[in-house]
């Protein structure tokens, strides 16, 4: 399936990417939360 930034990815690559992508969002949420807790 096509990805806008990585061109064509197979199923295995998509599964890895989605895991990484979600993990990054969780880290971003933690970063914002830390900045708000002062």
- What's the pLDDT score for residue 22? 95
| pTM across the whole model | 0.61
Neighbouring residues of 6: CB distance < 8 A, sequence distance ≥ 6: 13, 17
Q: How far does CA 24 lie from the centroid of its chain? A: 4
- What's the pLDDT score for residue 23? 95
- What's the pLDDT score for residue 34? 93
* Sole residue written with tokens 């197979």: 10
- What's the pLDDT score for residue 1? 82
């Amino acid at each position: 399936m096509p990805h806008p930034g990585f061109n064509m990815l197979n199923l295995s690559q998509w599964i890895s990417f989605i895991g990484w992508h979600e993990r990054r969002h969780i880290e971003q949420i933690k970063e914002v939360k830390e900045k708000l807790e002062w």
